[in-house]
Amino acid sequence: MGQAQQTGSSEGIDIKALQDMYKKFVMECPSGLLFLHEFKRFFGVDPSSEASDYAENMFRAFDTNEDNTIDFLEFVAALNLVFRGDMEHKLRWSFKVYDKDNNGFVDKDELRSIIHSIYCVKKGGTKTDTNEPHFTVDDAVERILQAVDSDGDGCITMEEFIRGAQQDPWVLNMLKLDINPAQWVLEQRRKSAHF
């Protein structure tokens, strides 16, 4: 109360949306813990769809204490970062999504997996959003590795990830997941509200 209500822009989430998410969270998870299958159901993700892999990676990035559940505080903290964080914080969050095995490095297979999910979920194929004619998943992975892997070891550290994204707009577009996680959350929320 007394605080100005945010609008639902891509950089913010309004108070009503947060209250709605809390109500849904409590209804879906009376225990206060959100498990992976509930997370997918919460956002209306079909477990057999291409969005399923992306949702699993998001779940892992939201689960900051790595207990395979998301409590409401983790949920709100993650959404706050995704919706309101600066570019470096968003890139750090994106790195966690890319780093599937949580070893502090993104290898070629992890990079390929996320890029493939992005292409399938948001692009319906393998064409990127750039002005360049056609990038396959493998082309995109190779271009990112060449631009970002400064020591040439085949793995990307968080520092390389952030530095590479800040130096090349195309790489930034890809490494910040090319799809705004906040927008993805809002889209999934809208989709699930229509069912």
Q: What is the pLDDT of residues 39-87, one digit of tens each?
A: 887 777 777 776 788 788 888 888 888 899 998 888 877 777 766 778 8
CATH code, 26: 1.10.238.10
Asked if residue 110 and residue 79 are part of one domain, the reply reads no
Q: What is the mean pLDDT of the chain?
A: 76
Asked if residue 166 and residue 113 are part of one domain, the reply reads yes
> Which pLDDT does position 179 carry in this prediction?
44
Q: Does residue 124 lie in a domain region? A: yes
* 178 has a pLDDT exceeding 90: no
Asked if residue 119 and residue 55 are part of one domain, the reply reads no
Asked if residue 72 and residue 22 are part of one domain, the reply reads yes
Asked if residue 78 and residue 99 are part of one domain, the reply reads no
Q: Note the pTM of the prediction, 2 decimals.
A: 0.67
Asked if residue 126 and residue 49 are part of one domain, the reply reads no
Q: Does residue 170 lie in a domain region? A: yes
* 180 has a pLDDT exceeding 60: no
Residues 98 and 193: their CA atoms lie apart, in Å, by 28
Q: Does residue 3 lie in a domain region? A: no
Share of the chain above pLDDT 90, in %: 21
Asked if residue 131 and residue 100 are part of one domain, the reply reads yes
Strand partners, 155: 107
Number of domains comprising the chain: 2
- How many CA atoms, within 13 angstroms, populate the side-chain half-sphere of residue 118? 27
Most confidently modeled range among 100-104, 121-125, 183-187 = 100-104
Residues 193 and 195: their CA atoms lie apart, in Å, by 6
Residues 19 and 14: their CA atoms lie apart, in Å, by 9
> Which pLDDT does position 153 carry in this prediction?
93
Q: Does residue 8 lie in a domain region? A: no
Q: Does residue 33 lie in a domain region? A: yes
* 38 has a pLDDT exceeding 80: yes
Q: Does residue 9 lie in a domain region? A: no
Q: Does residue 1 lie in a domain region? A: no
Asked if residue 91 and residue 175 are part of one domain, the reply reads yes
Asked if residue 79 and residue 95 are part of one domain, the reply reads no
pLDDT digit string (tens) for 130-147?
A: 444 468 899 999 999 999
- How many CA atoms, within 13 angstroms, populate the side-chain half-sphere of residue 121? 25
Q: Does residue 4 lie in a domain region? A: no
Q: How far is CA 24 from the centre of its chain?
A: 20
> Which pLDDT does position 102 carry in this prediction?
86
Asked if residue 93 and residue 30 are part of one domain, the reply reads no
Q: Stretch 118-124: mean pLDDT, rounded? A: 63
User: What confidence tier does 124 reach under pLDDT thresholds 50, 70, 90?
Assistant: very low
Q: Which of 151, 170, 177, 11 is nearest to 82 (CA)?
A: 11
pLDDT digit string (tens) for 99-115?
A: 988 899 999 999 998 88
Asked if residue 146 and residue 111 are part of one domain, the reply reads yes
> Which pLDDT does position 176 carry in this prediction?
73
Residue 128 vs residue 184, higher pLDDT: 184
Domain boundaries, position 138: 87-179
